[in-house]
Amino acid sequence: MLKNPLLKEAQAKIEAGVQDRDAFSRIVQAGQKVMYDQATFAELAKGLKDAKDPVTEIAEGMIGILGILYKQSRKTMPIPPMVLAGMALLLDALDFAERAGLVKIGKAELNKATTHYLNSLLPKFGLTPEKMDGMLGQLGGTMKDPAKLAQIQGGQ
Partner 1 sequence: MGLLNSIGQGLSQAGYAAGDIFAKQAAAEQSSIMELERQKRLAEFQAELKNAPLKRYGAILKDEAGKDVTEPGKTEVIDAPSEFIGGENAGIENAKGLINTPPTTRKRTQDEAMTAANARAMQDDPEAYAEYESRIGKPLREERKIDEAAARSERDAKQRADAETRRAADAERKDATQRYIADLRSKDAEKRLEALIAKTGKSSDGTKEALNFIDGVRKDLANEASNLQRLYQADLKDKGKTAQAKIKAEYDPKFADISAKRQQIENDFSALREKVGLPASAPRAPAPAPKPAASGRPPLDSFFKK
Q: Which of 39, 74, 75, 101 binds partner 1 (CB under 8 A)?
A: 101
Nearer to partner 1, 29 or 128 (CB): 29
Region 34-93 residues binding partner 1, contact defined as CB under 8 A: 36-38, 41, 45, 49, 92
Rounded CA-CA distance 84/11 in Å is 10
Question: Does 99 engage in binding with partner 1 (CB under 8 A)?
Answer: yes
Rounded CA-CA distance 33/78 in Å is 19
Using CA atoms of 72, 74, 76, 82 in order, give the dihedral in degrees to the nearest 10.
30
Question: Does 156 engage in binding with partner 1 (CB under 8 A)?
Answer: no
Q: Which of 8, 9, 20, 25 binds partner 1 (CB under 8 A)?
A: 25
Question: Does 100 engage in binding with partner 1 (CB under 8 A)?
Answer: yes
Rounded CA-CA distance 72/129 in Å is 25
Phi, psi dihedrals of residue 147, rounded to the nearest 5°: -65, -40
Q: Please state the closest distance from residue 104 (CB atom) to partner 1, in A.
A: 14
What percent of the residues of the chain are helix, what percent strand, and what percent coil, each to the nearest 5? 80, 0, 20
Give the binding range for partner 1 (CB under 8 A) out of 24-32, 109-117, 123-131, 134-142: 24-32
Is 62 within 8 Å of 86 (Cβ atoms)?
A: yes
Binding site for partner 1 (CB under 8 A): 1, 25, 29, 32-33, 36-38, 41, 45, 49, 92, 96, 99-102
